């Protein structure tokens, strides 16, 4: 008998509010109890009262209880673009994490207000690169005479401050789906790329898609002088990878893939490019969240998939594709714990606050940061 818990069992483990989602410290009002049986009706009533004034965006990794109220679902940049396109919406409730709401604020108009139901919904990867650390890294590269040969490429999963740094230094933002195109653009401009903040996406794209070698990549550790690297190592490198990672995708291992292939020889493995390099090289398919959904959904009936990405999404894939067998690649529960802070009580609180005329948890990026961040985002759009 397989030791991997059934997907339905894993999903049920996540239903206890206190198990994976702490109460955010950002709620200044009375948060409804998670056990309140009227929560769904309250959310429906508040959303109906606001009408076209409100747009609810739901990231793919969100809980089903939240996704059911989303007007648009997608990955982080798709949702930010959707927010920008819906210029008539006065309020945009972003059911995601902090950096996503920041991007939406940068791309939307001044008449629109972006709201994050729980300000404690952050991103551990985005937090692995602070503005001070990145500024010091650039100063070190300048001291070595390398900065002028380097273009920063920053993953969408980053703070507005890091996006602003990227725009100010002539770089671009990328997503997991257009990282290859962004890196090719950067290497046409310069000899080196400083890739922030996810080392795995940078390494996998450089090696798998651009044909660079692992030796062309070095990892910059912001906690060590000069990134823990020698001047010779930095000068020889083509990719300077920031020492950051996704706490969810970094958990998947080559052993997990080997175990699945032993138990189910015909299984197909599909993983996100934020996974470790050895996981990506052992998988059958690699792709962004949107691509994972498309590949699994368009596969033949009876196909068996082990999916290496966030558990809420894998559960939704399994439910939406009953003619296939969809498994979670890891043996243990692997939710995005910060994304899971956005729950139905927080959504109800945010909606009902708007109905009463109170804007809560507004995400506002300062004008200077927004200006350079938008440059980097627009460069990505231009690609």
- Quote the tokens at residue 360: 């809560």
pLDDT grade for 231, boundaries at 50, 70 and 90 = very high
What is the number of domains present in the chain? 3
In this structure, is residue 335 part of a structural domain?
Answer: no
Max Cα–Cα distance, the chain, nearest Å: 63
- The residue segments making up the domain with residue 169 are 126-245
Quick: pLDDT tens for 244-301.
998 888 889 999 999 999 999 999 999 999 999 999 999 999 999 999 999 999 999 9
What region, left, alpha or beta, does residue 244 occupy, with left being phi > 0 and alpha being psi -120 to 50 degrees?
Answer: beta
pLDDT at 86: 86
Give dist(CA 328, CA 308) in Å, integer.
7
Kind plus residue range of the DSSP H or E element containing 104: helix 98-107
Quick: pLDDT tens for 302-335.
999 999 998 889 999 999 999 999 999 987 766 6
Say if residue 150 is in the same domain as residue 221: yes
In this structure, is residue 377 part of a structural domain?
Answer: no
| Mean pLDDT, rounded, of the chain | 89
pLDDT at 150: 98
Say if residue 116 is in the same domain as residue 147: no
Say if residue 136 is in the same domain as residue 114: no
Say if residue 161 is in the same domain as residue 207: yes
Whole-angstrom CA distances from 61 to 12, 65, 76, 345 are 16, 12, 10, 17
Query: Looking at 212, 245, 278, which one is the last position of a domain?
Result: 245
Say if residue 45 is in the same domain as residue 107: yes
In this structure, is residue 370 part of a structural domain?
Answer: no
Say if residue 210 is in the same domain as residue 146: yes
306: closest CA among 253, 379, 343?
A: 253
In this structure, is residue 10 part of a structural domain?
Answer: no
Give dist(CA 198, CA 177) in Å, integer.
14
Q: What is the CATH number of the domain that holds 305?
A: 3.40.50.10800
Say if residue 162 is in the same domain as residue 272: no
pLDDT at 335: 60
Q: Sign of dihedral through CA atoms 181, 184, 188, 194?
A: positive
Say if residue 153 is in the same domain as residue 113: no
pLDDT at 16: 32
**Exposure string over 43-68, b if 16+ CB within 10 A, otherwise e:** beebbeebeeebbbbbbbbbbebbbe
pLDDT grade for 219, boundaries at 50, 70 and 90 = very high
Query: Looking at 196, 227, 245, which one is the last position of a domain?
Result: 245
In this structure, is residue 142 part of a structural domain?
Answer: yes
- Quote the tokens at residue 70: 């989303």
Query: Looking at 230, 245, 260, which one is the last position of a domain?
Result: 245
> What value does the mean pLDDT take over residues 92-104?
92
Say if residue 141 is in the same domain as residue 195: yes
> What value does the mean pLDDT take over residues 347-357?
96
pLDDT at 24: 45
In this structure, is residue 383 part of a structural domain?
Answer: no
Q: Coil, strand, or helix at residue 24?
A: coil
In this structure, is residue 232 part of a structural domain?
Answer: yes
Say if residue 117 is in the same domain as residue 141: no
Residues 6+ apart with CB under 8 A from 279: 252, 253, 254, 256, 257, 271, 308
Say if residue 160 is in the same domain as residue 233: yes
Say if residue 266 is in the same domain as residue 225: no
Q: Looking at residue 156, what DSSP letter applies?
A: S
């Amino acid at each position: 008998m397989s030791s991997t818990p059934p997907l339905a069992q894993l999903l049920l483990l996540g239903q206890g509010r206190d198990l994976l989602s702490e109460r955010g410290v950002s709620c200044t009002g009375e948060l409804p109890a998670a056990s309140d049986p009227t929560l769904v009706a309250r959310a429906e009533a508040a959303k109906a009262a606001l009408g076209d004034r409100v747009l609810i965006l739901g990231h793919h990794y969100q809980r089903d209880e939240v996704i059911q109220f989303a007007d648009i679902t997608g990955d982080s940049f798709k949702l930010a673009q959707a927010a920008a396109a819906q210029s008539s919406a006065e309020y945009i409730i972003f059911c995601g994490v902090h950096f996503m709401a920041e991007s939406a604020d940068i791309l939307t108009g001044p008449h629109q207000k972006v709201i994050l139901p729980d300000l404690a919904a952050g991103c551990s990867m985005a937090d692995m690169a602070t503005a001070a650390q990145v500024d010091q890294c650039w100063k070190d590269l300048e001291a070595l005479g390398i900065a002028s040969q380097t273009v920063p490429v920053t993953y969408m999963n980053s703070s507005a401050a890091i996006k602003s740094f990227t725009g100010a230094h002539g770089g671009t933002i990328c997503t997991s789906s257009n990282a290859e195109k962004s890196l090719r653009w950067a290497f046409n401009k310069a000899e080196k790329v400083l890739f922030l903040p996810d080392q795995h996406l940078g390494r996998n794209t450089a090696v798998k898609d651009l044909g660079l070698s692992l030796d062309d990549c070095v990892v910059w550790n912001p906690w060590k002088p000069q990134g823990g690297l020698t001047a010779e190592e930095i000068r020889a490198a083509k990719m300077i990878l920031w020492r950051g990672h996704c706490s969810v995708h970094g958990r998947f291992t080559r052993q997990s893939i080997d175990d699945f292939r032993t138990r189910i020889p015909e299984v197909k493995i599909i993983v996100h490019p934020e996974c470790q390099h050895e996981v990506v090289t052992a998988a059958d398919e690699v792709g962004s969240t949107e691509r994972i959904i498309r590949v699994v959904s368009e596969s033949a009936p009876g196909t068996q998939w082990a999916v290496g990405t966030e558990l809420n999404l894998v559960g939704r894939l399994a439910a939406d594709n009953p003619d296939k067998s969809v498994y979670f690649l890891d043996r243990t529960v692997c939710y995005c714990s910060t994304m899971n802070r956005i729950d139905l009580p927080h959504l109800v609180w945010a909606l009902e606050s708007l109905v009463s005329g109170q804007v809560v948890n507004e995400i506002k990026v300062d004008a200077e940061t927004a200006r350079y961040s938008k440059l980097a985002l627009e460069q990505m759009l231009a690609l």
